[in-house]
Structure 1
Amino acid sequence: MKSTQPSQDAVVIDRGTEDELWCIGYRDNCVKRTLLYVLSLVTLGLPLLVLHWKPDWAVKLTKTQCPLRQASTVLVKDTYGQTHAQDVTVKEVTAGRIVADYNCEDSDISSVQSDDDTVALTTNPQEKCFVRYFEHSHVRYIWYRGTMSFSPIRGLDSDTTCAMIHEDFTGLNEEEQLQKQHLYGENSIDVKVKSYSRLFVEEVLNPFYIFQICSVILWSLDDYYIYASCIVLISGISLAVSLYETRKQSQTLRDMVSSGGATVQVVMSSGEMVETVTSQLVPGAVILIPTRGCMMSCDAVLVSGNTIVNESMLTGESVPVTKTPLAPSEANEVYSPEMHKRHTLFSGTQVIQTRYYGDSKVKAVVVRTGFSTAKGELVRSILFPKPIGFKFYQDAMKFILFLCCIATLGMIYSTTMLLVQGVHITKVILRALDIITVVVPPALPAAMTVGTVYAQNRLKKAGIFCISPPRINICGKLKLICFDKTGTLTEEGLDMWGVATIQENNFLPVVQDPSALPSHGAFAVAMATCHSLTIIDGEIAGDPLDLKMFNSINWIMEEPGKDTTRFDSLTPTVVRPISMDTYYSAAPETVAYEVGIVRQFTFSSSLQRMSVIARVLGASHMNAYAKGAPEKIASLCQPDTIPEDFHAVLHSYTRRGFRVIALAWKTLDERVNWLQAQRISRASVECDMSLLGLLILENTLKPQTTPVIHQLKNADIRTVMVTGDNILTAVSVARQCGMVAPRESIILASAYVPEEGKPALIEWKNIGDEQMEGENTADENGVEDLGIVTYQSACIDVSKPRYHFALTGRSFAVILQHFPELLKKICVRGTVFARMSPNQKSQLVEHLQALGYCVGMCGDGANDCGALKMAHAGISLSEAEASVASPFTSRTANIECVPIVVREGRAALVTSFGVFKYMALYSMIQFVSLLILYTKVCNLGDWMFLYIDLVITTTVAVLMGHTGAYQSLVAKRPPGSLVAPRIVLSIIIHVAMVAMFQAAAYFYLTCQPWFTPAPHSATASTVNSWETAVIFYVSCFQYLMLAFCFSKGPPYRRPIWTNGR
């Protein structure tokens, strides 16, 4: 928190999370409010204008601090140091079990105004129940009597066990639904679209426009009507365009997230089905998912039936995802949308198909609504983005303050000179105030956006779309870029390389064509059943890896229809070999050619595996098949089924960059029937299995990857791989693409949590070039042991100056918890981060930023959204709607866009620096000109000001940004600070030279025999004079020459003569 320690009445909400808030209560104070209004009347509303800019000041000046339980307004301060004022609302609702914990006493609401729009919902006047809440960033914080504090109310995703979801949430009655509606509010993601009139008022009250309005009034009083009219016209056009674009963006976002007036069937506690508008849904309600599919308007967890969902809106993953019912599991397992995402239907995702058994319906329990849903969180991140905090903009404000100080000195000088020469006091005041409009030009903020506007247009032509133009400048300072692997550095699709089966505890020779495997063998059946594929519009669809695996064995998949009765309606999917001759000739007792998939345990990122329960036609028992990360699958298998050289064989493939998947199986007890298969726990199935072998797939680098990585390394931009894949596969890809040079060492850091009284430890192992090539392997994993580091001695002595760390997500989590002192070294030297969860990717980006890196993130959208939002510059390679969470989206699905974004960022940053310095020097030139002329009681004319400001300055400032980015990247990054000594010295020298030449021109003029001094004027408005003409002409040339000085070319922009090409 950036603020000082709050008072004792402050309360911390969501401590330790990114949503942490400091909350301080205030109540109305009539005396303070009255005094403020009186002061505002006396000062023509100036205090009200200032308080409009600083709402927290308004609360402190009109209200009295008090305990939260008596507050009518709260001041909340977030983790970024931003303060917001929110009104506390009171609602009168029907008393009942659900709202009992949120009821507040009459004494607590005596100072709080009730919601005028709320109708009393109780039929008995004696049974009153009041709830108090405020809303911040579209999250409702409700008063909870148990803690005497406000708490965010989100849904059923906290402290709700899986067993409770099945047992306690079977439907709500009307009274419970009504109470929850008033607790949670409407289930809608309503993006407010402000009217043009409101937008106009808010924009006009912006300090920039207030300054312009004051300037126009000043110029009009000084008879500069033409100049003032032109400024009003230009500002009016700019304002109109700004209002149109702002409202259009809000309308576009609203249309994108709006669910309209859709309806859904809700199961009531009585068992009755009621058609309800989706906006009335509440957590705990049970809904039916229609067979024709639908767009989800809430987050809900499946309790019966299967669904096939397109989640591209949230994850960027366009492949269909199968969702299965949540198992009751252990009674104490807490439900989590993230941990149980394979059972959760998220808001904004499209349900394509449903699967149910017999007369059962596909039911789901609503867990989150409105802005608390996954879609709502995404929209909130767009509406309330993390402050960029770019030093360039902070320095710009400091520099403007510096210009104001110079303007103050100029006012003092001009006032003194004009008073000494007998100028009328009214004109002295006007001339002094005019100095402010000269030194701090009103067009400065607009001129600074020129570089980003042109860069955004050039990026658009290159197929790269930017929804956050200020981020373009930040791209010019990128020092480190994180890359996802699959789909980003490597091809999205996988090619089948072969299978290594196991027989009698030994690996057999690799089979290049899996279709040649025996159809009745367990390995072929595992490949045919252990997947999440489905049939959509007659085509098999699903995960690319599953598709490649299934298609390689030449089997057929059928899903049940009206005529599919071989396994009755309880079996959703059937697979069989494509060869019908083999099918018909097989003996019944050995048939393994038609298999029904009875149940599916979908892939889990945390478990790194999936499994299915299947039944062979005619068999008396069911089998379980599993596939996943080799290390995980091996840990589930009986030791006597794992070959002794398992790790060596696995390493021989992973070090060559192959994607390796292990398969295993086991026979279930004959007493397990269909009903028991639906209720059996995952842990009971995924244990004591037999290892079948390895599935080996080839994931090749994209042709653009290696050249781009070399470009970035030559530009001294560090590259890091952050992937969910196997660590040795990731290391191999890192070497292939050039992230790690051939002779550089990679040190594998394996961290382990404390066990049985032993401290946490880290094992350091060297994965050298020799090991990757298969020479001189130091152990069975082909790595050289460098030693163990315990919690007490967290250090490592690496002799080689060039080395890289590689570690898994599990080790990363252990280091965060037990070795925080090593985190900096890991972040500085870490190049390969494998088996990273989406949340860990975001954590890594955040820790890199904390070390001072300007971090970019490039991913294909799947599991990368959090990191893309967290990074300074997120570049999504997915065109899915999830790209709205990323500042940049590339139409071309390879990393060639990264150096383009960096080049344009550097060009835009250099342009912004150049334009800023030009505008600062332009104001200084005019400042010097006026001081010289005021000394002689002269001034520039109306048309002269117009010519300088519009014809020269505006045209030059706009055209300065038209020069394109340089064709290549260099190691040196452009400066990022306006107050750097070199920048400040440059401006000072230019100001001195400008003043010297204008003074020299003036003195040269006075030495001419034909020179006649300007006559004395009591208004200091003499325009027709030699002094005015000379100063005007000299300054015009200075404006033009400075434009050339500040229009820099290589190595960040093209030469100035290419401007406009």
Structure 2
Amino acid sequence: MPRSSDQRGLSEAEAASRLARFGPNELPPPPRRGLGRIALQVMAEPMFLLLALAAGAYLVLGEPAEGALLATFAVVTIGLVVVQERRSERAIEALRALGAPQAVVLRDGQSRRIPGAGVVPGDVLVLEEGARVPADGRLLSARSLALDESLLTGESVPVDKQAGAQDESGETFAGTLVVGGTGLAEVTRTGAATRNGQIGQALAGIDIEATRLQRNTKRLVRLFGVLALAVSLTLLLVHGALRGEWSEGLLSAIAVAMAMLPEEFPLALAVFFALGAWRLARAGVLVRRAAVVETLGAATVLCVDKTGTLTENRMRVAWLHDGRDEAHPDGIAGIPSGLAPLLETAVLASRAHSMDPMDRALQALAPAALAQAEAGHLPVSPGLPAQTVAHALPGGGLRVATKGAPEAVAALCGLQGEALARVHELATDAAARGLRVLGVAEGHCEGALPADAHALSLRWLGLVGFEDPLRASVPAAVAEARAAGLRVVMITGDYAPTARAIATQAGLDGAGDVVNGAELAAMDDTAFERACLRTTVFARMRPEQKLRLVEALKARGEVVAMTGDGVNDAPALKAAHIGIAMGQRGTDVAREAAPMVLVEEDFGLIVSAVRQGRRIFDNLRKVMLYIVAIHVPIAGLAVLPLLLGLPPLLLPAHVVLIEMVIDPMCSIAFEGQPPEPDLMQQPPRPLAEPLVGASQLLLGAALGSVLLAVCLWLYFGGLGAGLAVPEARSLAMLALTAGNLALVLSLSRRRGAWSRASNRAYGLISLATAAVLAACLGVPALRELFDFGLPAWRDGLLAVGLGVAAGLVLELAKPLPRVQRLLGRQA
């Protein structure tokens, strides 16, 4: 690749040529599903195929009104799914746009700001404080250049860079942040070829698992689907072969198949997950794959990245010590007057408008010292890790302020013997508490500032300790997670003392037992698994070790959630059952790898998401019981009259009316239920626990059988009393609808408080259902379309009353402990 001429950068023509050759400087976007593909997937669903088949059958039989009605329901089904899918795609695209970088490059010798995607190999990047590096590069020049590489390494301390160095200190990496100094770098790699991109490409080899709930639901739907197909074919053959009524037999068979096929199971999952994702988004958690909300509710281990997740990813002055007195400042008012010179000198040793996190922490604590104008400075160098800044004195001369590595500043001050040992002791103790420590000294200089700090006469003032503070919400969130049986594990690239200190502040169990990445690398698989089970804090972890740790936990049967914001977190984020990326400062790689993104970087939101996941599972169990229960009378009313030689009670249009008007709306009513009071005092549910097991199926079937008996009694009794088939059908439909709504009310709460479940959503659903049914019975055109009759008002009231009583029969059994266990987990 031809080099750019000296440091003038590329010409615009050459840059355009290379952009065409190498492509834009961005990661490959995730594959998108077009509207056509989404629609095709919906049309392959069994319920849609049955709707289309029934609509076609009505058209062939010369009943266009019924065919048009069913075709409309089919189109509505496609439209709802497509709208939801497109909303999810747009949300992901908006999140990607948040991270679109800008870059300053030299083109034809001029500095120009361009979109980061336009950077090409050979470009000369202008690196300034506050800028994010858009591509990997080789330093051409550097002046006091320091980069925050925490997104790659997990360490919050800036890394000093030197032009011409043969190791990584002479390179820049995409996604890192310039926190100090300036420099020029020639781009060597862009897009997927950068270190950022290479880790992103590695994610393609990790498969995303379907959730256990999705797999169990698919098996349940397949079971009912096979049963529905067998019964429908049998009815069709019996009806056609024995009675010769093939057309009516086809419609009845379709109605039976639609009645027995529990398509509400996946529909309820979609509704619950979509609304759960919406609720989380309002709180600052963006869900990219909604099904993981349920998995998060079953999580047993939460692997947490320290920097930016538990901590605020900023520095704060936490400790001052002048050799005699010390302070742990909480604002300038809390600093003893004897330590004021130490703090003031440390501020004066910081560059104005610096992006270095330690400089900014000092300046925030004592901003008044910034009023003194800078008269010169000596930057950090490889041989002297200390910075000196000079300020002009009113009477002439310079006031010199120096800060840096304690041993380096102590050497500049000429400390020896006991004084030097004391400095070393204090600095070591502070580092063991997780603090970053700087030594501070002051002096005076007549004339110009010398080029070498060793020529200055400096006086030792003391030590300043910095910490990356813990987020205020973390201790309470960790305590709530512990009460919920969720184990919190810290995984960080930072040093062990810092990790131990943060873990202790956060209240993690076993915070004192820290295992380093080097120790893990020396372990065999058995020892590694043991370390995973007993250790809470892992320090100095490399990306491949994070991934290995997640895989080891999964192999032990744990449901693993992983938080992170850096490129180094991405493989583990994707391999975990639930990956949770940070949105404000996270990399595109991390966001694409994680199915959940914390737009607001608040650790407490993670525990809220766990609570939301548990609430979803709890309410899903109730709605699944309801679906099983309501399908018993629907299927029974479609099958039994035919087997007994009576006119069919339910036709395809009736089944669709029930399922499209009542069942999906009731899913919304269940979804709106608040969590049970003891939800976060329950342990995580067992991985093998199904949403609906055999016992729940039997309970649902028993509840539905009561309602079925009432509806059949009304239908058979009406026919026996001389009512026409349409009128008898109306009585059964009134009882079925009333029992349906009463059953929702009874199942909504676990502990018998059904009357308190009448929330706004349920009220609106009940009114809408009553209005639709009243229109179908009262409007002649609709009554004829659905083949209903208008019953006497007393018969109608009797049907409604009996239906309500059948729907509330569960209230009689709720006090029984076994029924309580079937309705929800017990502590």
TM-score, scaled relative to structure 1: 0.55
Alignment pair present for 1:232 and 2:60: no
SS in 2 for 1:448: helix
Alignment pair present for 1:719 and 2:488: yes
The residue aligned with 1:101 is none
Aligned with 2:519 (options 814, 828, 837): 814
Cα distance in 2 for residues equivalent to 1:400 and 1:942: 20
Cα distance in 1 for residues equivalent to 2:300 and 2:754: 19
Cα distance in 2 for residues equivalent to 1:272 and 1:941: 76
Alignment pair present for 1:542 and 2:252: no
Cα distance in 2 for residues equivalent to 1:399 and 1:292: 58
SS in 2 for 1:848: helix
SS in 2 for 1:593: strand
Alignment pair present for 1:365 and 2:187: yes
Aligned with 1:245 (options 82, 87, 106): 87
The residue aligned with 1:305 is 142
Alignment pair present for 1:855 and 2:560: yes
Q: CA deviation at 1:828?
A: 1.5
Alignment pair present for 1:346 and 2:47: no
Going from structure 1 to structure 2, the CA distance change for 1:322 and 1:650 (only over 3 Å counts) comes to closer
The residue aligned with 1:580 is 393
Q: In the alignment, residue 712 of structure 1 is paired with which amino acid?
A: A
Going from structure 1 to structure 2, the CA distance change for 1:566 and 1:662 (only over 3 Å counts) comes to closer
Alignment pair present for 1:1024 and 2:726: yes
Q: CA deviation at 1:391?
A: 0.6
The CA deviation string for residues 802-851 of structure 1, in whole angstroms up to 9 with x for no partner, is xx7712424xx333433431222222221233444566555534433332
Structure 1 residues 399-414: aligned runs within 5 Å: 399-414=220-235
Q: CA deviation at 1:457?
A: 3.5
Cα distance in 2 for residues equivalent to 1:244 and 1:363: 41
Q: CA deviation at 1:697?
A: 4.5
Aligned with 1:437 (options 255, 258, 269): 258
Q: CA deviation at 1:706?
A: 3.4
C-alpha contact 1:514 1:552 (8 A) present in aligned 2: no
Cα distance in 2 for residues equivalent to 1:391 and 1:738: 31
Going from structure 1 to structure 2, the CA distance change for 1:231 and 1:254 (only over 3 Å counts) comes to same
Going from structure 1 to structure 2, the CA distance change for 1:439 and 1:814 (only over 3 Å counts) comes to same
Q: Which has the higher helix share?
A: 2
Going from structure 1 to structure 2, the CA distance change for 1:692 and 1:397 (only over 3 Å counts) comes to farther
Q: In the alignment, residue 215 of structure 1 is paired with which amino acid?
A: L
Q: CA deviation at 1:402?
A: 0.8
C-alpha contact 1:177 1:282 (8 A) present in aligned 2: yes
The CA deviation string for residues 138-173 of structure 1, in whole angstroms up to 9 with x for no partner, is xxxxxxxxxxxxxxxxxxxxxxxxxxx999999999
SS in 1 for 2:549: helix
The residue aligned with 2:57 is 221
Aligned with 2:614 (options 906, 913, 929): 906
The residue aligned with 2:797 is none
Aligned with 1:395 (options 216, 222, 229): 216
Cα distance in 2 for residues equivalent to 1:464 and 1:1052: 32
Q: Which has the higher strand share?
A: 1
Q: CA deviation at 1:409?
A: 2.7
Aligned with 1:994 (options 685, 689, 704): 704
SS in 2 for 1:303: strand
C-alpha contact 1:227 1:946 (8 A) present in aligned 2: no
SS in 2 for 1:409: helix
The residue aligned with 1:919 is 627
Alignment pair present for 1:424 and 2:245: yes
The residue aligned with 1:632 is none
Going from structure 1 to structure 2, the CA distance change for 1:493 and 1:297 (only over 3 Å counts) comes to closer
The CA deviation string for residues 368-414 of structure 1, in whole angstroms up to 9 with x for no partner, is x2334466579879999951431111111111111122113312431
C-alpha contact 1:908 1:961 (8 A) present in aligned 2: yes
Alignment pair present for 1:203 and 2:203: no
C-alpha contact 2:211 2:292 (8 A) present in aligned 1: no
Q: CA deviation at 1:1008?
A: 8.7
The residue aligned with 1:631 is none
Q: In the alignment, residue 637 of structure 2 is paired with which amino acid?
A: S
C-alpha contact 1:489 1:895 (8 A) present in aligned 2: yes
Cα distance in 2 for residues equivalent to 1:518 and 1:1035: 80
Alignment pair present for 1:831 and 2:518: no
Going from structure 1 to structure 2, the CA distance change for 1:910 and 1:380 (only over 3 Å counts) comes to farther
SS in 2 for 1:363: strand
Aligned with 1:1047 (options 738, 748, 770): 748
> What's the % identity of the aligned pairs?
18
C-alpha contact 1:557 1:576 (8 A) present in aligned 2: no
Cα distance in 2 for residues equivalent to 1:253 and 1:384: 24
Going from structure 1 to structure 2, the CA distance change for 1:708 and 1:931 (only over 3 Å counts) comes to same
C-alpha contact 2:488 2:536 (8 A) present in aligned 1: yes
Q: In the alignment, residue 475 of structure 2 is paired with which amino acid?
A: T
Alignment pair present for 1:212 and 2:48: yes
Going from structure 1 to structure 2, the CA distance change for 1:970 and 1:265 (only over 3 Å counts) comes to closer
C-alpha contact 2:135 2:194 (8 A) present in aligned 1: yes
Q: CA deviation at 1:991?
A: 2.4
SS in 1 for 2:435: strand
SS in 2 for 1:853: coil
C-alpha contact 1:664 1:693 (8 A) present in aligned 2: yes
The CA deviation string for residues 76-128 of structure 1, in whole angstroms up to 9 with x for no partner, is xxxxxxxxxxxxxxxxxxxxx99xxxxxxxxxxxxxxxxxxxxxxxxxxxxxx
Q: In the alignment, residue 138 of structure 2 is paired with which amino acid?
A: V
Going from structure 1 to structure 2, the CA distance change for 1:444 and 1:415 (only over 3 Å counts) comes to same
Q: CA deviation at 1:451?
A: 1.9
Alignment pair present for 1:593 and 2:294: no
Q: In the alignment, residue 234 of structure 1 is paired with which amino acid?
A: V
Q: CA deviation at 1:676?
A: 13
Q: CA deviation at 1:415?
A: 3.2
Going from structure 1 to structure 2, the CA distance change for 1:328 and 1:371 (only over 3 Å counts) comes to same
Going from structure 1 to structure 2, the CA distance change for 1:847 and 1:540 (only over 3 Å counts) comes to same
SS in 2 for 1:365: strand
Q: In the alignment, residue 393 of structure 2 is paired with which amino acid?
A: M
Q: CA deviation at 1:987?
A: 0.9
C-alpha contact 1:323 1:345 (8 A) present in aligned 2: no
Going from structure 1 to structure 2, the CA distance change for 1:626 and 1:869 (only over 3 Å counts) comes to farther
Q: In the alignment, residue 55 of structure 2 is paired with which amino acid?
A: W
Q: CA deviation at 1:462?
A: 3.7
SS in 2 for 1:927: helix
C-alpha contact 2:298 2:614 (8 A) present in aligned 1: yes
Higher relative CO (Cα under 8 Å, sequence separation at least 6) belongs to: 2
The residue aligned with 1:896 is 604
Q: In the alignment, residue 36 of structure 2 is paired with which amino acid?
A: F
Aligned with 2:437 (options 647, 661, 666): 661
Cα distance in 2 for residues equivalent to 1:707 and 1:1039: 42
C-alpha contact 1:296 1:350 (8 A) present in aligned 2: yes
The residue aligned with 2:270 is 449
C-alpha contact 1:706 1:738 (8 A) present in aligned 2: yes
The residue aligned with 2:279 is 458
C-alpha contact 2:149 2:159 (8 A) present in aligned 1: no
Aligned with 1:985 (options 681, 687, 695): 695
The residue aligned with 2:475 is 706
C-alpha contact 1:296 1:346 (8 A) present in aligned 2: yes
Coordinate RMSD, CA, aligned: 5.9
Q: In the alignment, residue 225 of structure 1 is paired with which amino acid?
A: G
